[in-house]
Chain A
């Protein structure tokens, strides 16, 4: 599905929803919302902390950032009958590319022919990870934000397409099985405060199951992403031009292609909550055919205890690439001006291939205080260890140099979450 069609289809859903009250006799309207006011402070001068890879600004030494976590979301739900419902959700926040179209997080119609079977069409949440469908609703989670080592890669908020969900009840257990298909796109910034980005358009396909049983929740999701956009063309062209002098690049060029290539997620999640103690953990293995999408393993675990309205927790996680570092050397023995150029090209290629890697681990503590109805205040301190060969969740404060040493960052976050 090309992106033009995607834009068109989400607009269509909106028009349909706005006009629908006149089509159906009786509509029940529900309005609700959520908001977060957050502040992140990081002590590292070289790397800027950001919530995920879609952001082009963040917190670094002497630069506390309120833009990473702060947002306001508004939602309308319309209900015509037990079978038909619609929802539109808009989120205002600091985006890399802030357009009205990008602000529409959901806009879908839901059909429930019988209780326990939901079919939806339009724009909806891509339910790949445990928190995917409420990633931006801080009030739903104990932490200030979804754990960074894991959710830093979760840039995929929504897609335009359809999904189907079937629920089965067995005694105390509830099993949900789902499948989804659609198209989405995202633009990723290339550097801190830069307006330049890499635009991705992709088709998304997935299936998953989740089991709720007393205090336990287990889930598994498989999702596959097929890339439609052409990435790294400039680099491929440059390499193509030097191929007569440097035949080895002929093997490299196809690896840098993106159209029609796939990457996939195998996600596992588990959580436990007995209303006093709670724990949650997720693991995902990302396998990629694309050189410009890093394959890797991401994990986090968190344990907490509630003391009345106070919740205290610890958390930790890691992100690790699956592929080794790439090393590219230009052929030797060429005349000086040419050799310099080829060396530059070799290091540029190496940088863009290795630059997508994510290698870090973290641990932290935090607390959430539910001080009033539908209001929570959070405070969280985390220590990040970032390998010099895997800084992609962060932004270099000086994009002209590369990271030569392993980095450490202490990130202190405060957030106020509300529902309304």
Chain B
């Protein structure tokens, strides 16, 4: 059993390191007075623990559609949780009626457009050139 576990772990870590190191950008609307956010503050926002930026301005996290690899990579990097764990966790907040779920978008460009429109928005996208009306508050390197 122990050997099996070891093989399994080795296999898994081999797989993980074979994946390209993707860079994830956390972005907000350019009008937002927030300039940078710490790892923990991003966790609090995307895990529904807080609903405002540190400057007390209301925050609205935006999400990618469930099942997209970028979404899984973002939450894994941010919290160490699998997508299923994140969905189960969010279901506890949503179906308790405590939080409404983050609005989901099909791809990065839809997310960027939404953040450009909405002053309270915060979202994550892969590294790419960004329009002037959004700004980066944190960079995450996912494995």
Contacts and interface: CB of A to CB of B under 8 A. Distances in A.
Interface of A: 28, 30, 32, 34, 73, 75, 77, 79, 82, 85, 87, 89, 106, 108, 110, 112, 114-116, 118, 120, 124-125, 127, 133-134, 136-137, 139-141, 167, 169, 172, 174, 212, 275, 306-309, 370, 373-374, 376, 419
What interface size band does chain B fall in? 20 to 34
B91 A34 contact: yes
A160 to B, nearest CB: 14
A137 B92 contact: yes
B95 A73 contact: yes
A168 B121 CA distance: 23
B8 A275 contact: no
Nearest to B67: A373
Contacts of B98: 118, 133
Nearest to A110: B97
A116 B50 contact: yes
B10 interface: no
B100 A137 contact: no
Contacts of A373: 66-67, 83-84, 87
A30 B87 contact: no
A106 B83 CA distance: 27
Q: Is the interface of A mostly helix, strand, loop or mixed?
A: strand
B7 interface: no
Interface in B71-85: 79-85
Given A82-B58, A125-B97, 12 more contacts: A75-B95, A82-B52, A82-B120, A115-B58, A124-B97, A139-B87, A167-B49, A167-B50, A275-B79, A308-B12, A309-B84, A373-B87
A275 B12 CA distance: 15
A77 B66 CA distance: 19
B49 A174 contact: yes
Given A82-B120, A85-B100, A134-B96, A370 B82 contact: yes
A139 B85 contact: no
Given A75-B94, A307-B8, A308-B12, A30 B100 contact: yes
B97 A419 contact: no
Contacts of B89: 140
Nearest to A122: B97
